[in-house]
Amino acid sequence: MASALDVVDGEVRELIRRRGLDPFTDPGPVRMLVRDVVADYSERSLTSALPPIGDAEAVVRDVLDRVAGFGPFQRYLDDPEIEEIWVNELTPLNLQISGSIVFLGPH
């Protein structure tokens, strides 16, 4: 069964396509759309077999990162403490934070 994040992500992508939105040039409407889809999903999951959503704000952030950012890398790009990001393969990921190299492992 798909996770709540995956279901919401799919619904958001479909609505973005239908409405002709561009996540990069229309970030406000896309952000509002994601919040609306998460709220709707959260209500539907209370009375259905859908997986529970958990932390709704985290789902909003993750879906926005997926559709309007660089997916799981976006949080590192947004973090002012990150000095460098080394990507030699899809995994593992290494970061330089305050002069120290941090190995994050597979994503």
- Domain positions in the chain are 4-69, 72-107
Percentage of the chain lying above the pLDDT 70 cut: 92
Residue 49 pLDDT greater than 70, yes or no: yes
What local confidence, expressed as pLDDT, does residue 62 receive?
96
Burial class (CB in 10 A: 0-12, 13-18, 19+), 41: buried
Helix (H) or strand (E) holding 49: none
Average pLDDT over residues 9-28: 96
Q: How far is CA 78 from the centre of its chain?
A: 13
Q: Report the predicted TM-score, pTM, of the whole model to 2 decimal places.
A: 0.79
> Hey, what are 80's tokens?
């002012």
Angle among Cα 4, 10, 11 to the nearest 5 degrees reads: 90
Q: In the prediction, which pLDDT does 14 show?
A: 98
Cα separation of 49 and 41, whole Å? 11
